[in-house]
Structure 1
Amino acid sequence: MLNGIRKAGAVAMMACALLVASCSQAPEEAAAPKTEFTIGWSIYAGWMPWPYAEQAGIVKKWADRYGIEIDIVQVNDYVESVNQFTAGQLDGVTVANMDALTIPAAGGKDTTALIIGDYSNGNDGVLLKGTSNLADISGQQVNLVELSVSHYLLARALESAGLAMTDVRTINTADADIAAAFTSPDVTAAVAWNPQLLTMKQEAGASQVFSSADIPGEILDLLVVDTATLEANPNLGKALVGIWYETIQLMQRQDEEGAAARAAMAQLAGTTPEMFEAQLATTYLYVEPEQAVAAATDASLVETMTRVRDFSFAQGLFGQGASSADAIGMAFPGGRTLGDADRITLRFDESFMQMAADDAL
């Protein structure tokens, strides 16, 4: 299951956020310099460059350049990988922007988004049976993984149609079960992600009425690291950015070497090269570091994170102690902030990606 692990288990995410928020409010102490680091990843098309880079020796090449060791480790469950990072068991992890906010940042862990890797550009979609008109979703029950990115996508879809969340009734459905559920005549509306979405689109009478392609740049996939660790060990940031862009450039090549790299990533993800290519087609990769820097510094990122944090707060994902959507502070390039400026726990840092753009690594 290539893309599902990325977003499953939203209830567990909320439980983790509540638990960590209750016991992690003390400021983090400054981290000490070190030479060994562990980065966690889980299976998702946009994150497969990481295990491939280790397999191909690219990780070792860049780690050796800076005199450090980097262990790229798979965590089979996406939520568990984010929990491990939040608990300090990982120095960095692959994570979606909403979950970076609602788990480590909401729990008081100072977190830096080091790399903006991609955004979902059709990997997530809203499906209806018997109609291609989004407005017809009003009054229906909608099957989805509640409190996940699918829930956020539904909220954005409803907003685009002049509807509210109260105009539908959501039915929590596990990502492993949603494709089968959609075959039932009783299920007429659903929100899902690939690869399940690809399967569900084939159901008789099904139409995709909204997708993440309609909200480009809002469902972001990141590599985040512990802020204190990065500040004490800037060479870690340089190495990780170097690894990422060398690997991305390789996988984009339209020759035998590029095809072989993508095929190897597909195998690491447990899928076919054809399925992997199909999912890459709906994943907008920021191939050039200049693109990622532009995304990080654009004012639209603040707008996106405002939407994400407002939705997250409304769904109770900031924990019981959060009195408003401003409870968590976020920092952006150019000195911009959002929320509580005295409690910044999520930072978007373009400086290391800029080094790659400047060929200064």
Structure 2
Amino acid sequence: MISRSRRLMTALLCALSLAGVTALSACSDSTAASGTKVTIGYSAWPGWFPWAVAQEKGLFEKNGVNVDLKWFDSYTESINALSSGAIDANSQTLNDTLASVSGGAKLSVVLVNDNSTGNDKIIARQGITGVADLKGKKIAVEQGTVDHYLLLLALQEAKLTEKDVEIVPLLTDAAAAAFVGEQVDAVAAFAPFTSKALERPGSRAIATSAEFPGAIPDHLVVSEQMSKERKKEVQALVNTWFETIDWIKQNREEAVKIMAKRGAVSIDEYKSYDAGTTIFTKQQNLDAFTPGVTPAHLNFQAGKIADFIVSNGLAQSRPNFDGLFDDQYVKAVK
């Protein structure tokens, strides 16, 4: 199974296909397609495997963009690659993007790919029936990740803090293995590693990202320089995203085979992840980019995540949000 560490330390898109989306096939002139390559990174998260579909079905070329789609076994390396300028765009969470911005990276969020709505889970051993039962227990989690963030949200709701539990810091794949090996009482992880964790007899999910709407959004993130100087290519990537979603809807079985192969999981396993990733339509994108005071708005979530980053020592000061959320490309999709 492919490793994807959703680490907070420090593009492309994700899709499984949910609500109706009308795709736009644009920017398809040969000049763009034969121009400078755009190198975009992606890694093991169910919502991002569809970019293998876009590549295999020639949808990048159809939309006039020359793409080098780069797979990263280590998600952390993809974040670092974008921050250092080694790639032009990356598939990453809002948490990781804000951490990079706090470190001085100049980035632009140009698309909301999805929200995690169940594929991030806190899984506990038999006998633990709720988050409140975690008091005094050992929990494996990769520190600084979105699953660490999810764990803190769940503990807070249960009127507990991180001091009430014993954190065992491990990379996500190792954390799932430690849980299955009965070395810890619980684990916080994301799909597909949740499937591994649930192999422990009697284990069950006691909290998931479905209970915290909007807390874990995934994005197409590009360098600020690319957004300013290569707008046509960024637009082509966003157009390809929506066309890929539409293609998957119309060719579901073939698409699932491609995505399951990329994720190194069975077709049935991949299908089980569908409900846990909510793919955003254009309207949901526009709503998320609009400033607001609810979990549905990116600026609201960014504020909460910034507090998490600072309080956990991942940044000395809150990141600057000015110019971070760039909705011009989504608005241009017809």
Answer whether TM exceeds 0.5 for this pair.
yes
- State whether residues 62 and 242 of structure 1, in contact with CA within 8 Å, keep that contact through their aligned partners in structure 2: yes
| Letter aligned with residue 296 of structure 1 | F
| Letter aligned with residue 175 of structure 1 | T
| Residue 26 of structure 1: aligned partner | none
| Residue 18 of structure 1: aligned partner | none
| Residue 49 of structure 1: aligned partner | 50
| Equivalent residue for 1:107, pick from 95, 103, 110 | 103
The reply on whether 1:349 has 2:326 as its aligned counterpart is yes
- State whether residues 49 and 244 of structure 1, in contact with CA within 8 Å, keep that contact through their aligned partners in structure 2: no
Q: Summarize the Cα distance change of 1:73–1:139 in structure 2 as closer, same or farther, 3 Å threshold.
A: same
| Residue 259 of structure 1: aligned partner | 253
| Equivalent residue for 2:116, pick from 106, 109, 120 | 120
How many residues of Structure 1 are paired with residues of Structure 2 in the alignment? 306
| Residue 68 of structure 2: aligned partner | 71
| Residue 154 of structure 2: aligned partner | 157
**Cα distance per residue 1:183-224 (max 9 Å; x no partner):** 345522221222222232343332322111111111111110
Say which structure, 1 or 2, has more relative contact order (CA 8 Å, 6+ apart): 2
- State whether residues 113 and 220 of structure 2, in contact with CA within 8 Å, keep that contact through their aligned partners in structure 1: yes
| Residue 201 of structure 1: aligned partner | 198
The reply on whether 1:271 has 2:268 as its aligned counterpart is no
**Cα distance per residue 1:150-176 (max 9 Å; x no partner):** 211111001111111211120112322
Q: Summarize the Cα distance change of 1:166–1:49 in structure 2 as closer, same or farther, 3 Å threshold.
A: same
| SS of residue paired to 1:330 | coil
- State whether residues 290 and 353 of structure 1, in contact with CA within 8 Å, keep that contact through their aligned partners in structure 2: no
Mapped to 2, the partners of 1:163 and 1:274 lie a distance apart of 36
- State whether residues 45 and 192 of structure 2, in contact with CA within 8 Å, keep that contact through their aligned partners in structure 1: no
Structure 1 spans left out of the alignment, 5+ residues = 15-32, 332-343
Among all aligned residue pairs of Structure 1 and Structure 2, give the percentage whose two residues are the same amino acid: 28
Q: Summarize the Cα distance change of 1:192–1:36 in structure 2 as closer, same or farther, 3 Å threshold.
A: closer
Worse-matched range after superposition: 197-206 or 227-236: 197-206
- State whether residues 123 and 282 of structure 1, in contact with CA within 8 Å, keep that contact through their aligned partners in structure 2: yes
| Letter aligned with residue 117 of structure 1 | N
| Letter aligned with residue 56 of structure 2 | Q
Mapped to 1, the partners of 2:181 and 2:54 lie a distance apart of 42
Shift of 1:86: 0.9
- State whether residues 45 and 191 of structure 2, in contact with CA within 8 Å, keep that contact through their aligned partners in structure 1: no
Worse-matched range after superposition: 152-161 or 301-310: 301-310
Mapped to 2, the partners of 1:268 and 1:185 lie a distance apart of 29
Mapped to 1, the partners of 2:68 and 2:182 lie a distance apart of 47
State how 1:1-361 maps to structure 2 within 5 Å: 1-2=1-2, 4-7=3-6, 13=9, 35-63=36-64, 68-103=65-100, 105-129=101-125, 130-185=127-182, 187-253=184-250, 257-286=251-280, 288-297=281-290, 299=292, 300=294, 301-318=298-315, 322=316, 324-325=317-318, 328-331=319-322, 347-356=324-333, 359=334
Mapped to 2, the partners of 1:352 and 1:296 lie a distance apart of 11
**Cα distance per residue 1:265-317 (max 9 Å; x no partner):** 2212222221211122211111x211221122252322211111111111111
**Cα distance per residue 1:316-350 (max 9 Å; x no partner):** 112xxx2x43xx2113xxxxxxxxxxxx6xx1112
**Cα distance per residue 1:20-69 (max 9 Å; x no partner):** xxxxxxxxxxxxx9843211222221111222212111001112xxxx53
Shift of 1:94: 0.8
Q: Summarize the Cα distance change of 1:189–1:107 in structure 2 as closer, same or farther, 3 Å threshold.
A: same
| SS of residue paired to 2:220 | strand
**Cα distance per residue 1:71-92 (max 9 Å; x no partner):** 2222222111111111111111
| Residue 336 of structure 1: aligned partner | none
**Cα distance per residue 1:107-135 (max 9 Å; x no partner):** 21211111100011111111233021221
Mapped to 2, the partners of 1:258 and 1:246 lie a distance apart of 14
Mapped to 1, the partners of 2:188 and 2:252 lie a distance apart of 33
Q: Summarize the Cα distance change of 1:212–1:141 in structure 2 as closer, same or farther, 3 Å threshold.
A: same
Mapped to 2, the partners of 1:88 and 1:165 lie a distance apart of 35
| Residue 17 of structure 1: aligned partner | none
Shift >4 Å, 4+ stretches: none
- State whether residues 111 and 226 of structure 1, in contact with CA within 8 Å, keep that contact through their aligned partners in structure 2: yes
| Residue 18 of structure 2: aligned partner | none
Structure 2 spans left out of the alignment, 5+ residues = 11-31
Q: Summarize the Cα distance change of 1:209–1:268 in structure 2 as closer, same or farther, 3 Å threshold.
A: closer
| Letter aligned with residue 148 of structure 1 | T
Shift of 1:6: 4.4
